[in-house]
């Protein structure tokens, strides 16, 4: 299975939305189609990336000029000096973000603009999914040819494992900045320095205690019980997985989960997060911004009402507040909600991708079923398959960081206040560290032999700010997969991969996976 055909299909879809006049004037990054196919592979890939970035921008940008042709001429004038200098590989995204071009389009530098109402869920979903497709389009390529840094929008993209490792292990220099997403509140996930350390201490001991090997069987039993009564469908299994993960999370804090109302609130959180993330990329109107922030505060308030109605939960929130007494304006509800969403969403997302890949390969599915059903103490093939799933479909496909002090990283100059993107997709598919990185390999040699470079496999990230619940998350994924495979079998009618991205990368709903009970 290779995702490249799906990316190319998306490129063709976006190409259809670019005016023919624009294509004629730009000549696909100032070169003809013939030249694009004649140049070496690296150049061809760069041209594709430039065309893709341009298509993404044009899809969400109205023409400020009276006619598309006038607009195309203005863009062409900006590119003409690059063409005369034979600098065919200069990034179009730089042109789209420079101040002159932004004045032409009436757009703040670095921001996407859109046509029509951005509150349309389909448009929001499409734009965010396209960002992830773009990461896949850029990944798996040897970037040692000196083509310069990769870019998406106005963000420099780092996807070399060594560079990403340096960034992740320097949290004082590369700080977390979640922009509008912080409208849902502040937590250990979007704060820095001493405040982050204080917030981390509130929950970290609970995660470590819940992840002890002694809990393996109880975690498996929780998932097995939640799945036993669920509907025999992918949607039913998803609900069972959420119920199991939610139960385990609440138990880690000594609480009992109200599954149905909490699941409904988590669905609202995901919808709000998608809008807030979209508005972090696309400049909203004041009304849109206020509406999104209002929805975020409303869902947090509803969560708070539910939690505080339970005496034990209210006491746990008091413990949160006591440990964070030095943090001004601390909200235990915000801390709890963001921990809950992050922990449950990434766990269920990973298991859903495992099931999707099992449906695509019946022989692999039966081999894993036999290995799990044998109750063996070690399940190396199953473990390899889970690792390969997290490598190919990382639950968090990318991160952003803000540079606190001007610096130089691997030849790229970075200024204070600049945002950079860390592509986990790119790290997991870097050709210097993986053999055939763009192919999903159920028995990948690097995992079977345990020979992979730890810097090139970071599903739970790395460094001081790596996922605090990584051990518990890994335990849940392993036991959930065992519980599901024992009860269900899966089949796919095709192998077309589609995403549903909202901070975490889920398989899109409506995938052609059929389910039957064993």
Q: Under a CB-based contact definition with an 8 Å cutoff, are residues 249 and 203 in contact?
A: no
| pLDDT for position 83 | 36
The count of structural domains within the chain is 2
The span from the CA of 393 to the CA of 139, in Å, is: 13
Beta bridge partners of 469: none
Structural domain contains residue 159: no
Residue range of the domain that includes 46: 4-148
CB-CB neighbours of 48 under 10 Å: 18
pLDDT value of position 451: 96
Q: Are 142 and 24 found together in one domain?
A: yes
State whether 10 and 110 are in the same domain: yes
Q: Give the torsion sign (CA, 391, 133, 57, 38).
A: positive
What's residue 39's pLDDT?
A: 40
For the segment 248-252, the average pLDDT, to the nearest whole number, is 98
Q: Are residues 122 and 203 in the same domain?
A: no
Whether 167 is covered by a domain: the verdict is no
Report yes or no: 274 and 125 within 8 Å, Cβ to Cβ. yes
Mean pLDDT across 114-121? 53
Distance CA 245, CA 225 (A): 12
Top mean-pLDDT range of 16-20, 395-399, 495-499: 395-399
For residue 116, being part of any structural domain is answered with yes
178 and 40, same domain (yes or no): no
3-state secondary structure 367-409: HHHHHHHCCCCCCHHHHHHHHHHHHHCCCCCEEEEEECCCEEE
Kindly report, residue by residue over 72-91, the tens digit of the pLDDT.
444 444 444 433 333 333 33
Describe the chain by its helix, strand, coil percentages, rounded to 5. 60, 10, 30
User: Are 440 and 357 contacting, i.e. CB atoms less than 8 angstroms apart?
Assistant: yes
How does DSSP classify residue 491? Answer: E
pLDDT at 340 over 60: yes
Strand bridging mode 155-158 / 419-423: parallel
DSSP string, 297-366: HHHHHHHHHHHHTSHHHHHHHHHHHHHTTTSTT--HHHHHHHHHHHHHHHHHHHHHHHHHHHHH-HHHHH
Would you say residue 139 has pLDDT above 70?
A: yes
Domain presence at residue 156: no
Range 364-369 contact pairs with CB under 8 angstroms and sequence separation of 24 or more: 364/442, 365/485, 365/489, 365/490, 368/485, 369/485, 369/486, 369/489, 369/518
Considering 82, 113, 148, which residue would you say is the last residue of a domain? 148
The structure's pTM equals: 0.79
* pLDDT (0 to 100) of residue 199: 97
Side-chain half-sphere exposure of 136, counting CA atoms within 13 A:
25
Is 86 part of a structural domain of the chain? yes
Residue 469 CA to residue 220 CA, distance in Å, equals 17
Task: Identify the residue with better confidence: 190 or 2.
Answer: 190
Mark whether 103 and 239 lie in a shared domain. Answer: no
Length of the chain: 518
Q: Are 319 and 335 spatial neighbours (Cβ–Cβ below 8 Å)? A: no
- The per-residue pLDDT for range 472-499, each reduced to its tens digit, is 999 999 999 999 999 999 999 888 888 8
Question: Cα–Cα distance between 341 and 362 in angstroms, integer?
Answer: 32
The pLDDT of 376-403, averaged and rounded, is 95
Run of H or E including 275: helix 259-281
How far apart are alpha carbons 279 and 292 in whole angstroms? 9
pLDDT, greater one: 154 or 203: 203
pLDDT at residue 498, as a whole number: 87
Please indicate, yes or no, whether residues 390 and 458 belong to a single structural domain of this protein. yes
Supply the CATH number for residue 257's domain.
Answer: 1.10.630.10
Asked whether residue 233 falls in the same domain as residue 178, the answer is yes
pLDDT above 80 (res 254): yes
Average pLDDT, the chain: 81
Does one domain contain both 195 and 245?
yes
217 and 321 both lie in a single domain: yes
Higher local confidence (pLDDT), 374 or 209: 209
- The verdict on 133 and 275 lying in the same domain is no
pLDDT at 54 over 50: no
Q: What confidence category does residue 154 fall into, taking pLDDT thresholds of 50, 70 and 90?
A: confident
Q: Is the pLDDT of residue 21 over 50?
A: no
Query: How far, in Å, are 193, 227, 374, 390 from residue 371 at the CA level?
Result: 45, 20, 5, 20
DSSP state of 283: P
Least confident range from 11-25, 327-341, 376-390, 428-442: namely: 11-25
| Predicted confidence (pLDDT) per residue in 276-286, tens digit | 999 888 888 89
Higher pLDDT, 14 or 106: 14
Give every CB contact of residue 460 below 8 A, 6+ residues apart in sequence: 466, 467, 470, 473, 474
Q: Which is nearest to 244 in space by CA: 262, 263, 222?
A: 222
pLDDT, one tens digit per residue, over 350-371 is 999 999 999 999 999 999 999 9
At 432, is the pLDDT very low, low, confident or very high (cuts 50, 70, 90)? very high
Residue 293: count of CB within 10 angstroms of its CB: 19
Q: With residue 175 as reference, give the H or E element that holds it.
A: strand 174-176
- pLDDT confidence of 29, banded at 50, 70, 90? very low
Residue 99, pLDDT > 50, answer no
What pLDDT shows up at residue 60?
Answer: 37
Q: Give the mean model confidence (pLDDT) for residues 193-211.
A: 97
Contact 260, 240 (CB under 8 A): no
Among 104-108, 224-228, 288-292, 458-462, the range scoring the smallest mean pLDDT is 104-108
Distance CA 154, CA 109 (A): 8
Q: Which two tokens stand for residue 168?
A: 């992740």
| Residues 139 and 193 grouped into a single domain | no
Q: Are 274 and 132 in the same domain?
A: no
């Amino acid at each position: 299975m290779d995702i490249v055909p799906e990316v190319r299909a998306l490129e063709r879809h976006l190409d259809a939305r670019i005016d023919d006049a624009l294509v004629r004037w730009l000549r696909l990054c100032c070169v003809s189609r013939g030249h694009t196919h004649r140049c070496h592979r690296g150049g061809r890939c760069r041209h594709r990336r430039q065309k893709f970035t341009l298509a993404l921008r044009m899809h969400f940008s109205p023409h400020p000029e009276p006619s598309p042709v006038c607009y195309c001429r203005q863009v062409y004038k900006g590119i003409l000096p690059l063409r005369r200098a034979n600098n065919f590989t200069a990034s179009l995204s730089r042109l789209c973000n420079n101040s002159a071009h932004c004045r032409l389009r009436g757009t703040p530098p670095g921001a996407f603009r859109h046509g029509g109402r951005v509150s349309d869920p389909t448009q929001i979903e499409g734009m965010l999914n396209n960002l992830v497709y773009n990461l896949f389009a850029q990944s798996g390529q040897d970037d040692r040819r000196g083509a310069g840094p990769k870019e998406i929008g106005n963000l420099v993209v780092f996807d070399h494992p060594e560079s990403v490792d340096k960034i992740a292990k320097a949290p004082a220099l590369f700080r977390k900045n979640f922009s509008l997403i912080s409208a849902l509140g502040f937590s250990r996930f979007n704060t820095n320095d001493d405040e982050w350390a204080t917030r981390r201490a509130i929950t970290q001991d609970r995660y470590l205690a819940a992840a002890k090997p002694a809990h393996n069987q109880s975690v498996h039993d929780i998932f097995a019980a939640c799945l036993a009564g669920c509907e025999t469908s992918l949607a039913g299994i998803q609900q069972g997985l959420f119920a199991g993960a939610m139960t385990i999370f609440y138990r880690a804090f000594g609480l009992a989960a109200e599954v149905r109302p909490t699941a409904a609130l988590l669905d609202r959180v995901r919808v709000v997060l998608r809008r807030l993330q979209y508005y972090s990329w696309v400049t909203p109107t004041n009304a849109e911004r206020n509406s999104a922030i209002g929805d975020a505060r409303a869902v947090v308030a509803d969560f708070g009402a539910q939690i505080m109605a339970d005496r034990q939960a209210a006491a746990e929130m008091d413990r949160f507040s006591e440990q964070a007494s030095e943090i001004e304006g601390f909200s235990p509800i915000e801390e709890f909600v963001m921990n809950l969403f992050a922990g449950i969403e990434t766990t269920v997302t990973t298991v859903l991708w495992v099931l999707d890949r099992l449906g695509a390969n019946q022989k692999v599915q039966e081999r894993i079923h036999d290995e799990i059903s044998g109750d063996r103490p070690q399940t190396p093939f199953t473990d390899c398959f889970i690792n390969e799933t997290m490598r190919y479909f990382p639950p968090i496909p990318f991160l952003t960081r803000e540079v606190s002090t001007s610096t130089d990283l691997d030849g790229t100059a970075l200024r204070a206040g600049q945002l950079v993107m860390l592509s986990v997709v790119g790290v997991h598919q870097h050709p210097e560290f993986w053999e055939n990185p763009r192919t999903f390999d159920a028995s990948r040699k690097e995992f079977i032999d345990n020979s992979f470079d730890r810097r090139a496999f970071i599903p739970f990230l790395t460094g001081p700010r790596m996922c605090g619940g990584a051990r518990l998350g890994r335990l849940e994924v392993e036991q959930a997969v065992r519980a599901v495979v024992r009860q269900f079998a899966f089949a796919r009618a095709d192998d077309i991969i589609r995403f549903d991205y909202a901070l975490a990368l889920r398989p899109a709903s409506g995938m052609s996976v059929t389910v039957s009970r064993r």
